[in-house]
Structure 1
Amino acid sequence: MGTVKKLAEEVGRGLEQALPGLRKTVVGKLALAVGAMIEGRTPNTVELANLLPLPTERQDMREQWLRRLLKNPLLGSAVVMEPFARAELARAARNGQTVQLSLDQTDLGDRMAVLMVGVRVGDRALPLAWVAEEGPANIGFEGQERVLERVLAWLPPGADVLLSADRFYPSVALFDWLGARGWGYRLRLKGNVLADTGEGEETTTGGLARGAEERYLPGVRLFAHGVMTHVGILHEPGHPEPWIIAMDCAPTRAAVLDYAARWSIEPMFSDFKGRGFGLEDSQLEHADRLERLILVMSLAMWWCVQVGRDDASDRPTPLEKKPGRKPMPDTGASGSSAAAWFPGSPGACAT
């Protein structure tokens, strides 16, 4: 049995258990694509098609099979990702922990832009929700709202959330959305945002940061609409620019440094792009098809992460072992093991 077929069978069993409402034919085809992605780690649909264990040697038939999959409206990322996202978010919120989310965008040249929300897992992030748009422009609040509302629906009740986002995203609409949902936030600001501290003339966030190594300002009004927030400024030696961070809590150095959690999304983007699947080399021209290709990549990433977790639990290194303690079972929102969704062995992943 070929490597891709073995991987697809493992992945398929997990997908069938997690997505009982999805057509079996769609689940089977998705599992084949995920197996090929794990094996090939490429966005090139021709190369992926060559890896598929299909009962035909005709290249055109293989490519047609994959094109149809990427055009299939039943293959929606919101539907497929929901059980995995719910389980991971429940894991992140366990024992009252704050769920750390990052919002960021990556571009594929000037052809396509992808906005993603990821949940922090250790020093990295796992993808939860994304939206793609054709063209080089930054994706505005309409796209941000789509992915944030999706994640909001998957959170366990009462979960504390901290969202970090780079300086391209803060807007009046985003601040209003976060305030209405009670989410914590650390949003980096550009230096040209209008700011009013209530102690003098209106200035800009860059003006507030000028010459300051550290500055903490409660009750600052931003933008012409007067969004009320708190601002912390930190300019560490050796860094060309300061961090100007808007936050929902009293501004302190520790609160500013919370923004560093956003960087967990950068290794994730590296996994999608140059150091992993090579997404930037994709030649897909339609945003919906790119979103489905990202879904295939995301499931491949989640599967390998779960296999790694199982390996760490079953065969911990000496540094990971804690005498007298057994590993805590990894349970999702439904109480079932997340590993059961993606059953597999480290040996299967290694192949």
Structure 2
Amino acid sequence: MNWDWDKLREKQEQYEQKRSGGGAGVPRPPQMDEVLNRFKNFRFPGGILLIVVLFFLFFGSSIFFTVDIDEVGIIQRFGKYSRISQPGLNFKLPAGVEKVTKVKIKRVYKEEFGFETVKGYNNARFSNDNADAGAALMLTGDLNVAVVPWIVQYRISDPYNYLFKVKDVRSILRDMAEATMRTVVGDRSINEVISKREEIAVAARKMLQDEMNQAETGIHIVTIEMKKTNVPEPVQPSFNEVNEAVQEKEQLIYKAREGYNKAIPAARGEAMRMVKDAEGFALDRVNRALGDAARFTSVFEEYVKAKDVTKKRLYLEAMSEVLPRLGGKFIIDSDQKNVLPLLNLDGATSAVPAIKALREGGVK
């Protein structure tokens, strides 16, 4: 039997390829020992070239740096302040000589007092009242305890002062913010603290900014936001009762003032009217008296000039006023003692007083 050695060799190679993971037309993957042998036989082109490449990579990365648009770079040379780099690509001396510290001057930071804002599910924000609760407890001007949570928002206005003038800016900010808020709240009553939060925030911001400027912290206070102010929960029922009593008191005062405003002006108006009437009456009586006196004076002057004529004229004027008022008139002799018998005086009873007057006065 003749053996076909070529076919046997081909089958052997196919069998070895199947064992090594290859197949027909698929090259055999390199083995581990072959890879190691290749690395052992590989030689670098030159140690000096590698050192030069590493040198340029290291110093190139430490010489050039980029500053973002919302920040500045503070460069220190051997630890001492040198200059400020503006946003963009900048150059400095290699590491070990100059160091750059980036400060975000446009970012608004915030510090929370009396609560802590955290993120929950679906980015929902809620406050944890147990965090830093002691900072929110304050004594008001009327010796009441209030819970005053607030937020301080600030940004860095002077990077040099921020980095080199104060060791721990955040710590001094929190301490001064708490001291400032206690000072402002301590000058107001509990009702003002609850109802005038915006006014308190403005006053606290101004005072805190003055303190930050004096300490040279390099911080600008953007705003102070007052959260819901209230009294502690254990005294909440008593505080509500006091508020209700105060409101009832104010309501009664308003009602009393309303009645006062109605009664007092009316009484004053009536008094003024009576005074004006009395003044008018007095002025009328005075004017009449002056007129009568002037008339009497003028008559007396004429009487002095011609007594008989004036006397007759006065008598005639008096009779012209009196006689038309008498009704029926009966003229008798002054010496006659009895009335004529034929005279019927029953229908002239109204003339009796006039007759008596004529008898007593006499008619000539």
- Give the TM-score normalised by structure 1: 0.18
Q: Which has the higher contact order (CA 8 A, sep 6+)?
A: 1
Larger Rg: 2
Between Structure 1 and Structure 2, the one with more helix by share is 2
- Give the TM-score normalised by structure 2: 0.18
